[in-house]
Structure 1
Amino acid sequence: MNEPTAPEPQSSAKVIALVDDDRNILTTVSIALQAEGFTTRLYTDGETALKALLENPPDLAIFDIKMPRMDGLELLQRLRDRSALPVIFLTSKDGEPDEALGLALGADDYIAKPFSQKLLTARIKAILRRSDVSRALPGEASDEKMPEPVRRGRLEMDPARHRVTWDGKAVSLTVTEFLILEALATRPGVVKSRNQLMDAAYSDDIFVDDRTIDSHIKRLRRKFREVDSQFSGIETLYGAGYSFGEG
């Protein structure tokens, strides 16, 4: 079951990749998403999924954590080395350590099993809206005013296209990383606490350890230093939080 189960997308249909070794869950979720206007691609193991996600990226991916050969955490870690694709984790009820690690590795959201199809669809649409992967989600209008670009020194952020550059060089960020950076860059020099950054990056019903923000900041710094080894734009005020200094 490693092939798309619906036709490839028309002009507005968004593609959702589902990765789970439970074929019943794959089928049930796929049918529900197709009813909402999405196209789905189904994969039963992480190794096959990783190759497909990199070669032909969907608009969003949903990973189960507990899988043979390559679990969801390893799949995410290897994907994040090369892609900022939005990712939702499916976790068990007692999977809090996995949830925290998944968010720290760059997941954009998680949903605990068992879950309602309505909740999953709402989370997918929220992430697509946040990342602006889609100007018009299934059944929704597309005439909303697009946000203005943010320019701070050598940094330029385009929320409408989810693009970030530093000195004109592209920096690939996940949705969560983008929102954290945007919260800092819109008010340069102002120290934002971890709680404030969590509020900017996550919806109200997601609870993460504040150290998860530290992990995201480390990933942001690493990504910017890949294009500028002297990057020092994100500053730490120990005990208080972080600020953007344009440096």
Structure 2
Amino acid sequence: MSAAERQTILIVDDEPEVRTLLRTGLEGEGFSVLEASDGSQALTLIERVPISLVTLDLKLGGEDGLKVARELRVVKNVPIIMITGKSDAIDRVVGLELGADDYIPKPFLMREVIARVRAVLRRYEAGNAPASGATSEDEECYGFDGWKVDLLRREVRDPSGELRDLTTAEFNLLALLVQRAGRVLSRDEIMDLLKGHDWTPMDRSIDALVARLRKKLEPDSERPTLVKTVRGVGYVFAGSAKKL
């Protein structure tokens, strides 16, 4: 892999030993690596350097990792893998609900980090790619109930025109739903369409992802009118979605 082709990973962690461990493992797999010990350094780097993915410690000394994640996404819609301490008592589903694209608990195995980094990058790249057989022009934007989804810019605007902050996984889910509005999708179909994730039969990540998306789209997420559950089958986008 040439230097121009190498993807850059930003490691944000206040522990030098953790940064060194991650750097060594990621560079050994051909990634370019940058380090930041706090949110301020991370913001400076992401503004100056093209970053492919961020690994972010949930607790950066006295900083809130979730606040840092939101600040990073204001600058760039970059995939984020949250790294959490064992004492945080946070399971996989809750970790995803916090807004990360994935999460890894400490202590971690480097091979698991590499696998998850590659999976998130594949999922992000798949979401950026135009649908098979479609041109970028005719698949650029969709609208529903005053909302606008720009697939090329990966932007979502609410009826007032305000940009809404969606994670990579949330945006990818919304994109596939609006493109298939009115069609009931099973959880297995959604998993296949999102790609790039190691799903298991007991995986509740799709349900958690739908719940997160509803909170950002629905006036009342407990009584959804856009992303509806079809009992025993899966989900359907019930909004009046159309190409713009």
TM-score normalised to structure 2 length: 0.68
Question: Hey, what does 2:222 align to over in structure 1?
Answer: none
Question: Hey, what does 2:119 align to over in structure 1?
Answer: 126
Give the letter aligned to residue 228 of structure 2. L
Question: Hey, what does 1:141 align to over in structure 2?
Answer: none
Aligned residue-pair number: 215
Distance 1:49 1:25 in 2: 16
Question: Hey, what does 1:117 align to over in structure 2?
Answer: 110
1:65–1:89: 8 Å Cα contact kept in structure 2?
yes
Distance 2:187 2:164 in 1: 23
Identity of aligned residues (%): 29
Question: Hey, what does 1:237 align to over in structure 2?
Answer: 228
Question: Hey, what does 2:139 align to over in structure 1?
Answer: 151
Q: SS in structure 1 opposite 2:60?
A: coil
Question: Hey, what does 2:146 align to over in structure 1?
Answer: none
Distance 1:94 1:26 in 2: 19
Question: Hey, what does 2:241 align to over in structure 1?
Answer: 246
Q: Deviations over 1:58-105 (max 9, x none)?
A: 110001112223232221122234431010011233545475555234
2:11–2:54: 8 Å Cα contact kept in structure 1?
yes
2:170–2:212: 8 Å Cα contact kept in structure 1?
no
* Offset, 1:22: 1.1
With over 3 angstroms needed to count, the CA separation of the structure-2 counterparts of 1:239 and 1:53, relative to structure 1, is: same
TM-score normalised to structure 1 length: 0.68
Q: SS in structure 1 opposite 2:173?
A: helix
With over 3 angstroms needed to count, the CA separation of the structure-2 counterparts of 1:236 and 1:129, relative to structure 1, is: closer
Question: Hey, what does 1:138 align to over in structure 2?
Answer: none
Give the letter aligned to residue 107 of structure 1. A
Q: SS in structure 1 opposite 2:9?
A: strand
Question: Hey, what does 1:108 align to over in structure 2?
Answer: 101
Question: Hey, what does 2:199 align to over in structure 1?
Answer: 204
* Offset, 1:207: 4.4
Residue ranges of structure 1 left out of the alignment (5+ in a row): 1-8, 136-144, 223-233
Q: SS in structure 1 opposite 2:63?
A: coil
Q: Deviations over 1:20-58 (max 9, x none)?
A: 111111111101111111110011112321332234341
Distance 1:199 1:93 in 2: 31
